[in-house]
Amino acid sequence: MRSRFVALRVRPANRTIPRGEDGVLPQAWLLAEWPDDAAQPTDFWLATLPEDTPIAELVRLAKIRWRIEHDYRELKTGLGLDHFEGRSWLGWHHHATLVTAAHLFLTTLRLTAPKATGQA
């Protein structure tokens, strides 16, 4: 998958964004993704990262959401995070801790001992 990206410094307008002492809205990054096969940009992000942040870093951070969603889906469906049916905070805490530990184990295993090509 390939896309083109553009990053611009903008001042987003909103009543809840605190203004500086001079009354001016703070600058932010506007990142837009324009896939090669699309007629117009498809995704947009606002970021409050420093002005000297490279565009490659902005793109990496914008796209890391996929990894987070993937891990959350794995926690729920593969490791049973959503299977808790108890009634106490302590029980939920124990369940979530064990699921998180299992996820850490699987992630470490995946990163340190990947399957060889062609293995099942």
Is the model more confident about 113 or about 58?
58
Q: How many CB atoms lie within 10 A of CB 31?
A: 21
Rounded average pLDDT over 50-70:
90
Q: What is the pTM of this model?
A: 0.60
Mean pLDDT of 54-69: 90
Question: Is the C-alpha dihedral spanning 52, 26, 42, 40 positive or negative?
Answer: negative
Residue 7 buriedness (CB in 10 A; 0-12 / 13-18 / 19+): buried
How large is the angle between the packed helices 65-73 and 55-63, nearest 10 degrees?
Answer: 20
Residues 5-12, mean pLDDT to the nearest whole number? 92
Predicted pLDDT at 85: 87
Tell me what the mean pLDDT of segment 106-117 comes to.
Answer: 82
